[in-house]
Amino acid sequence: MGLMAYLNDILEAVVTTAKGMRITARYGVDPKEEVTLQYPEERWEIPERSRGFLFNDIKTCTSCTMCVKACPVDCISLESVRGADKKMVLVSYDINIGRCMYCGLCVEVCPPKSLKHTGGYEMASVQRGELILHFVQEDAAEIKARVARQVAEAAAKAAEAAKAAEAAKSAEGAPEPPKPATKPAEPPPPGEKPAAPAPEKKE
């Protein structure tokens, strides 16, 4: 190592040190460079289309099970029964949010657009069971029993109507088509509240 290289080493050490010191001094003096967010008190504004927790609006959900089939990790479980009006009635709709990987496939395939991502992202729990979101609050057995009752009632009414029509037909002799759907046992509004387990906390 020649003398010039030796002196160059020293010069380089001094110059590079000074350069680094200048950068940190700028950061140290300028308070605007602080990027810390005091998290529980302040939060980032999350983007509009961010994929947070899933939320299913069970009023519009048609129980088509597309989301169940689309889910790559099988975190959605859905149970439904056929109601009196031939429409499917949701008995239970659970999403295991602890298993969800937020791929968004279920949201994309949802035909009635009832399944959506919310902005929620805070859900700490001490038990894994607490991470399962239940969107149908009512007990599954109760719904099933009620739907079965309604179906039975509707069937009885239809049979009565048919009988009455038959009687009328035989009485009048006029061929009139039966009207079984005059009084469709509407799926009664059972006062189900839409489940809102996804906490949409903002501020």
Partner 1 sequence: MEALALSLVKSFPALSVAPLWAVSLLLMVAAGVVVLVFALTFEGVGSLVLRKVAGDIQARIGPNRVGPNGILQFLADGVKLVLKEDIIPAKADRLLFKLAPYFVFVGSFAAFVVVPFGVGLSPADLNIGVYYVMAITSLVVVGVMLAGWASNNKWALLGGMRAAAQIVSYEIPVGMALIPAVLIAGSLSLQDIVKSQGGLLGIFGWNLFHNPFTFFSFLLYFTAAQAETNQTPFDLPEAESELVSGYNVEYSGIRFGLFFLAEFGDMFIVAALATACFLGGWHVPFLNAAVLPPVWGNLLSLGVFLTKAFAMVLIMMWVRWTLPRLRVDQLMRMSWKYMVPLTFVNLLGVSLWLLVFRGKGIPQMIASLFG
Cα distances (Å, whole numbers) of residue 25 to 19, 29, 97: 10, 6, 45
Angstrom distances, CA of residue 180 to CA of 85, 130, 158, 163, 185? 11, 45, 5, 11, 10
Under the binding rule (CB under 8 A), the answer on residue 4 touching partner 1 is no
> How buried is residue 132: exposed, middle or buried, by Cβ count under 10 Å (0-12/13-18/19+)?
middle
Residue in 11, 20, 102, 163 binding partner 1, rule: CB under 8 A: 20
- Residue 203 is a binding residue for partner 1 (CB under 8 A): no
Answer yes or no whether residue 3 interacts with partner 1 by CB under 8 A: no
**What Å distances lie between residue 115 and 57, 59, 111, 174, CA to CA?**
6, 11, 9, 50
| Residue 21 binds partner 1 (CB under 8 A) | yes
Looking at 17-25, 93-101, 124-132, 164-172, which segment touches partner 1 (CB under 8 A)?
17-25
Smallest distance from the beta carbon of 4 to partner 1, in angstroms? 15
Candidate residues 8, 12, 15, 25; the one interacting with partner 1 per rule CB under 8 A? 25
Q: Which stretch binds partner 1 (CB under 8 A): 9-17, 110-118, 133-141, 181-189?
A: 9-17
Q: In the chain, what is the straight-line distance between the N-terminal and C-terminal CA atoms, in Å? A: 64
Q: Closer CB to partner 1, residue 14 or residue 145?
A: 14
C-beta separation of 128 from 62 below 8 A: no
Report the interface residues with partner 1, using CB under 8 A.
Answer: 9-10, 17, 20-21, 23-25, 27-29, 31, 33-36, 38
